[in-house]
Structure 1
């Protein structure tokens, strides 16, 4: 265990107030530049200024000294506020909680219980990366229950994440310390030997450059190679063949047919130009946020990373995934592309790959990529029968394929997709298949199930049908089947209920590093 997880109070990276107040500083600089712009134009281009310039008013009134004094006082107040904010923002990691205290006038205290941790995410935004800093966020089950440490040194963030996950796994004894090993500096960035000399500055610059291209600052904690690689061409293609592109094409066609004329063309261009710029920004952010995507298994769970300028690297401990959705939009079908989303009890406040929610585990991949991801996040996927059943659930059009499918009379309610609507149970996992235009397969580990319900409306009653829903934590994955034979719905209810009880009793993933799930 490092010093940052010794149960004592520690402070964040010294540059944290500056990094957190970056927007405020940019606003102040913008105000100064806006007031100096005419003076700069006059100085460089010789263009005369007009009245109303604040600096001219100060010069004419002879209040230069007072202005400098006021500016100095403001700067001192800002620096003092930043310093006091840093001094009053402390954290500690004990064997039970991660706790953060902050605030100057209004104090706040946030605690994240280790047994409720759903994931630990390390985000390295572009500007903090220049300082060697990173933000660590502990995702906890519950609404607005996350705890953030913004910012820590990059190396310390990796070490602290490892310590938090070690404690959350059930291990209470500290790891043996190697003789002669130095403890990390409190909240500081990694120290580069020779810093302060020309050679040291060069080494520091080289270290920062290596940080920008390194996929993982802690290679010992995860395999160096991701089990899935997304080629840039596939990534760009997945963004282009999206619903947003379809909307833009339809809007352009409607504009060309109904709205574009020689008289109104100029005005329409002015109106739609901001939308075009926003569209370019949308495509750029979707691509850059998914670049350098990686996913690998570790001793403490699944680690998912992505990002080019701003990087994110989250570890999901075992047993924290409540539902999985493997889907294929119709525009991706000719290419054989799929994507994977998950439900977890805690959600990071940072956006995930492609700018989507952090529940996007695989932005785009082939069927082989989906199999590699499911092998990491789905219990029992190493079973050959379950693998074959999942593949049939993704690609089959229905029939005798191991799924209990909706009867033919369900075509009155689902005329196109009734053949693909069905369910199966396999080794503690419920599989729900649906959709014909956008294919979907929902996988729910029964150990994570909250409840199960079946419903029957008047039309369904006449057709001897029913609907079913497996309730999990809130998220993008909704485990429902809109039509089933009424008798099969009752059978699903009974099998899932008994299977959930059995799976929950045998589950020990809450303390994943211990063989019997008990605290050490």
Structure 2
């Protein structure tokens, strides 16, 4: 473990108060510039100013000294508050918890148990990247239960994430006696502050401004996924052309095109010329929408690492989240109608914890693959469902995505279900393989849902008046809340009982044998 995961209290990056309060500072500067705009115009362009000016009032009253004193006092107060905020904001990482204490007048204490961690996300916004800083967010189950460390040195954030994930995997720190012996062996190293807290990653007089600029440039152009962090064959990337195409082929584009056609017809017919002026803000907003969606998703990658699945993306502001094994409760693979000619798919997941940062393409952070081919989907499923990679299981996935029904390894709805689902009844079906339930549904928008039975909360079957009359039922597999719903609208009533028994018994046996959530815990160690 690094010095940040030694169980002792540590402080954040010295620039953290400035980075967190940057919006406030920008607002103050904007207020000052607004009040001095006329004087600035006169100084730089020689244009006389009109009306009253606060500076003129100060000069007329001879209160220049008092004004400068007030400015100095305000600056000192801001610096004092920032310093005290930094001093009072501490954190520690032990074998059991990640704990953060903050606040001056009103103290707060947040804890995240390492064995309940759902993911660790490192976000590098544009401005903090200039300081070599990054925000580390630990996602845990619960509403507003995440723990944030904003900000740490960029390299320290990567090291600390590795330490937290090692602890979450079941690998424990050495006992206190061993740590004390290590400190006694190297007392200077134990007492010195860890590198990376200042604006530069290392201290010393030899660290020049040119070196700092080179380090920042390297951070900006370095790949979001370290090439040594994952085997190359496990890495999935999105080409820029496909990314742009997926952003364009959506419902918003259809709306913009229809609005543009209606506007053109109206202007040509001379009915409403004013609509052209009204449409300009919408056009500007549309361009901003597409630009933001694309830039936030550039350099996207998903890969398997020893500590879980890592998803990285972003051009100016980057995000890099690691999802440990055993934290994914449901997987949904879907294909919108506009993507069908291109053969593109999207993969979303349900987890007990969610990062507060938006995911790639502006989607929720539960979108683990914004757009990909069938081969990309297969590789992603191999990463997030370890062991689900045999040829038989790959065939089940492919038939679940593209098959129109029939005898294809799935138990499908009977023909009489067409009374309730006239178009999709052939594709509505389920199967169970290797501890995973697969639910297939949808015709216009195809969807395949995979639920690891070890993560299943419960299973339910139900009948309404119409389904009872048709000898049908509906089934639902309950998981943690998320964008993926694991349900079947129609299934044969007798088969629903079989489904209930298969799913419930499979969930019990899978939960008893599952050890993926403690992937580094030594054999024979009780949880």
**2:27 corresponds to which residue?**
27
**1:140 corresponds to which residue?**
140
TM-score normalized by the length of structure 1: 0.95
Taking structure 1 as reference, are residues 33 and 410 closer, same or farther at Cα in structure 2, changes over 3 Å only? same
Q: How does 1:65-214 map to 2 (within 5 A)?
A: 65-174=65-174, 184-185=194-195, 187-188=197-198, 190-192=200-202, 200-214=208-222
Tell me by how many angstroms 1:358 deviates. 0.8
**2:320 corresponds to which residue?**
313
Superposed CA deviations along residues 447-492 of structure 1, whole A, max 9, x for unmatched, are 0000111111111111111111111000110111111111111211
> How far apart, in 2, do the equivalents of 1:140 and 1:472 lie?
16
**2:361 corresponds to which residue?**
354
Tell me by how many angstroms 1:190 deviates. 5.0
**1:242 corresponds to which residue?**
250
> How far apart, in 1, do the equivalents of 2:524 and 2:408 lie?
37
Superposed CA deviations along residues 359-387 of structure 1, whole A, max 9, x for unmatched, are 11111111111111111001322222111
Matched, 1:58 2:66: no
Tell me by how many angstroms 1:409 deviates. 1.1
Tell me by how many angstroms 1:219 deviates. 5.2
| Secondary structure of the structure 2 residue equivalent to 1:420 | coil
> How far apart, in 1, do the equivalents of 2:259 and 2:318 lie?
34
Q: Which runs of 5+ in 1 are unaligned?
A: none
Taking structure 1 as reference, are residues 107 and 173 closer, same or farther at Cα in structure 2, changes over 3 Å only? closer
Q: Which of the residues 382, 398, 402 maps onto 1:391?
A: 398
| Secondary structure of the structure 2 residue equivalent to 1:419 | coil
Taking structure 1 as reference, are residues 442 and 302 closer, same or farther at Cα in structure 2, changes over 3 Å only? same
Q: Which runs of 5+ in 2 are unaligned?
A: none
> How far apart, in 1, do the equivalents of 2:388 and 2:189 lie?
42
Contact 1:226–1:294 under 8 Å retained in 2: no
Contact 1:10–1:187 under 8 Å retained in 2: no
| Secondary structure of the structure 1 residue equivalent to 2:13 | coil
TM-score normalized by the length of structure 2: 0.93
> How far apart, in 2, do the equivalents of 1:220 and 1:508 lie?
26
**1:509 corresponds to which residue?**
516
Superposed CA deviations along residues 404-452 of structure 1, whole A, max 9, x for unmatched, are 1111111111111111111111110000001111110000000000011
Q: How does 1:346-425 map to 2 (within 5 A)?
A: 346-425=353-432
Contact 2:472–2:493 under 8 Å retained in 1: yes
| Secondary structure of the structure 1 residue equivalent to 2:296 | helix
Q: How does 1:458-469 map to 2 (within 5 A)?
A: 458-469=465-476
Taking structure 1 as reference, are residues 31 and 95 closer, same or farther at Cα in structure 2, changes over 3 Å only? same
> How far apart, in 1, do the equivalents of 2:20 and 2:452 lie?
39
More deviation, 219-228/368-377:
219-228
| Secondary structure of the structure 2 residue equivalent to 1:253 | helix
**2:46 corresponds to which residue?**
46
**1:272 corresponds to which residue?**
279
More deviation, 474-483/373-382:
373-382
Taking structure 1 as reference, are residues 262 and 78 closer, same or farther at Cα in structure 2, changes over 3 Å only? farther
> How far apart, in 1, do the equivalents of 2:382 and 2:423 lie?
32
**1:281 corresponds to which residue?**
288
Taking structure 1 as reference, are residues 234 and 216 closer, same or farther at Cα in structure 2, changes over 3 Å only? closer
> How far apart, in 2, do the equivalents of 1:311 and 1:24 lie?
23
Tell me by how many angstroms 1:269 deviates. 3.5
> How far apart, in 2, do the equivalents of 1:235 and 1:279 lie?
17
Contact 2:224–2:299 under 8 Å retained in 1: no
Tell me by how many angstroms 1:222 deviates. 3.6
Over aligned residue pairs, what C-alpha RMSD do you find?
2.2
**1:471 corresponds to which residue?**
478
| Secondary structure of the structure 1 residue equivalent to 2:100 | strand
Contact 1:327–1:340 under 8 Å retained in 2: yes
**1:303 corresponds to which residue?**
310
Tell me by how many angstroms 1:255 deviates. 3.7
Superposed CA deviations along residues 257-313 of structure 1, whole A, max 9, x for unmatched, are 5688647423x3443332222211111111111111111111111111111111111
User: Would you say how many aligned residue pairs link Structure 1 and Structure 2?
Assistant: 517
Contact 2:266–2:273 under 8 Å retained in 1: no
Taking structure 1 as reference, are residues 333 and 117 closer, same or farther at Cα in structure 2, changes over 3 Å only? same
Taking structure 1 as reference, are residues 140 and 507 closer, same or farther at Cα in structure 2, changes over 3 Å only? same
> How far apart, in 2, do the equivalents of 1:148 and 1:224 lie?
31
> How far apart, in 2, do the equivalents of 1:465 and 1:20 lie?
56
> How far apart, in 2, do the equivalents of 1:3 and 1:325 lie?
40
> How far apart, in 2, do the equivalents of 1:30 and 1:517 lie?
62
> How far apart, in 1, do the equivalents of 2:346 and 2:2 lie?
38
Tell me by how many angstroms 1:51 deviates. 1.2
Q: Which of the residues 326, 329, 333 maps onto 1:322?
A: 329
> How far apart, in 1, do the equivalents of 2:525 and 2:123 lie?
32
> How far apart, in 1, do the equivalents of 2:308 and 2:199 lie?
26
